[in-house]
Amino acid sequence: MSTPTTLPVFPGTVNAAGHPATLGVMGGGQLGRMFVHAAQRLGYFTAVLDPDAHSPAGRVSHHHVQTGYSDARGLAQLASLCAAVTTEFENVPASALQALAAHGPVAPGAAAVAIAQDRIEEKSHFTASVGVAGVACAPYAVIETPEQLQAVSADLLPGILKTARMGYDGKGQVRVKDAAELAAAWASLKEVPCVLEKLLPLKAECSVIVARGWDGRIVSFPPQFNVHVGGILAVTEVYEGNMPAALATRAQAATEAIANHINYVGVLCVEFFLIDDGSEHGALVVNEMAPRPHNSGHYTLDACDVSQFDLQVHAMAGLPLPQPRQHSPAIMLNLLGDVWLDAAGQPRTPDWQAVLALPGVHLHLYGKLDAHPGRKMGHLTVTGADVAGVKATARQAAAILSLPGFEAA
């Protein structure tokens, strides 16, 4: 993919019409908010398209286009404001990104986002692109018709039935042991197109974040070692030795191959399962990709000289992509709305006094006004001079806030 003639968009500049250089984002959640902060720090003006009047990103941006994601007038307004546009979540309509691309650079593009929106397309892309020894897709079957349901091989059971579209944070997934449970699960999901994945002997989970420019240059953060609770990320650990070096190299190579295969532009996260295949370190299975910055990469704000959001800005605007360097070991703890509720489900104020007294703790709250169970409200990153100290502090913070999953930290 060649660089559009309108790039690069330099920060702090004014165009011929007298408008300051402005970057746009589809979506007003916390990822959009952190993108806006990164862009503004460089001197860009920003515009957010989101229907929520109180969206975290919209509240801090220069412009908030308060419309639905497919609203033609809203898209036209965003396009008129912005020199380039990105997205903060994968379920923005691909058609909306296509409409914006008719007026200026959009990264990632509609084709890449469309792949991430459909597990069937995603699996096909992974199969065609990975090409790294020791990395593969989980065995799977596509179920779109009763005939395909009946034809499922017994070798794929027990398994996990996942809706092809609109599934995230464990939603749209059902574990099934046998053919009867599979049929019942598909019926409970209204017989929408699904993917059945074979249940594998899972040892751990990890993710890799890369950024790829219009010129094909690609840079990578080190693999993140992740712990999920209830399908939602709880803990991310990133430091030398968090996983075997051979596996880390494979995960990075596979992620770069996935990005290169579709000429991806922007920040991309690929999630992997580490499975027990009888070998010394196990094997990697590609789980899914997110065409945007990722929860597991939030530690980069505090532990790296360039964050994932900085790279998102650089990639879309056509600026150089520096290779990020991690200067401190880090553990990130996700803060869900549960932290604001006591054991009886009543509202409470978390003990920030005790948490912020801990060394190397960085608190990030996303500006959301209503806390409820499972809602992502913020995160803590713990950094320090050595891994042992970071782990000890993370355990203290998790204990103060009663966070799940901290045992892995």
Walk along the chain (409 residues) and give the pLDDT tens digit of each residue. Answer: 678 989 999 998 987 778 899 999 999 999 999 999 999 999 999 999 999 999 999 999 999 999 999 999 999 999 999 999 999 998 999 999 999 999 999 999 999 999 999 999 999 999 999 888 789 998 999 999 999 999 999 999 999 999 999 766 567 899 999 999 999 999 999 999 999 999 999 999 999 999 999 999 999 999 999 999 988 999 999 999 999 999 999 999 999 999 999 999 999 999 999 998 888 888 999 999 999 999 999 999 999 999 999 999 999 999 999 999 999 999 999 999 999 999 888 999 999 999 999 999 999 999 998 999 999 999 999 999 999 999 999 999 999 999 977 654 4
Boundaries of CATH 3.30.1490.20 in the chain?
Answer: 139-198
Q: 106 with 97: CB under 8 angstroms?
A: yes
DSSP H or E segment with residue 256: helix 245-261
Structure-token pair, residue 144:
């779109």
CA 155 to CA 144: how far, in whole Å?
Answer: 19
Domain spanning 139-198: which CATH class is it, in words?
alpha beta
Which among 321, 305, 317 is positioned nearest to 12, based on CA atoms? 317
Q: What single-letter DSSP state applies at residue 295?
A: G
CA 161 to CA 164: how far, in whole Å?
Answer: 9
**pLDDT at res. 126:** 94
Boundaries of CATH 3.40.50.20 in the chain?
Answer: 22-106
81-112: buried (b, 16+ CB within 10 Å) or exposed (e) per residue? bbbbbbbbbbebbbebbebbbeebbbbbbbeb
Boundaries of CATH 3.30.470.20 in the chain?
Answer: 202-408
**Distances 53 to 29, 57, 74 between C-alpha atoms, Å:** 12, 10, 14
Could you tell me which residues come within 8 angstroms of residue 157 by beta carbon, excluding any fewer than 6 positions away? 176, 177, 178, 179, 182, 198, 199
Q: Which residue has the tokens 């204990």?
A: 399
The helix/strand/coil state of 367 is: coil
CA 383 to CA 221: how far, in whole Å?
Answer: 16
Question: Number of C-alpha atoms within 13 angstroms, CB side, residue 368?
Answer: 20
**Distances 121 to 130, 165, 229 between C-alpha atoms, Å:** 14, 10, 27
Looking at domain 202-408, its CATH architecture is 2-Layer Sandwich (3.30)
Query: Is 77 exposed, middle or buried (CB count within 10 Å of its CB: 0-12, 13-18, 19+)?
Result: middle
> What does DSSP say about strands 63-65 and 45-49: parallel, antiparallel, or unpaired?
parallel
**How many other β-carbons are positioned within 10 Å of the β-carbon of residue 142?**
16
The helix/strand/coil state of 279 is: coil
**pLDDT at res. 405:** 72
CA 331 to CA 318: how far, in whole Å?
Answer: 31
Structure-token pair, residue 402:
């009663």
CA 70 to CA 140: how far, in whole Å?
Answer: 33
Q: What single-letter DSSP state applies at residue 242?
A: S
**Distances 28 to 20, 31, 32, 88, 171 between C-alpha atoms, Å:** 21, 8, 5, 8, 21
Looking at domain 22-106, its CATH architecture is 3-Layer(aba) Sandwich (3.40)
Q: 266 with 312: CB under 8 angstroms?
A: yes
**pLDDT at res. 287:** 92
**How many other β-carbons are positioned within 10 Å of the β-carbon of residue 6?**
13
**pLDDT at res. 408:** 44
Which among 215, 216, 308 is positioned nearest to 257, based on CA atoms? 216
**pLDDT at res. 409:** 43
**pLDDT at res. 279:** 84
**pLDDT at res. 319:** 98
Query: Is 165 exposed, middle or buried (CB count within 10 Å of its CB: 0-12, 13-18, 19+)?
Result: middle
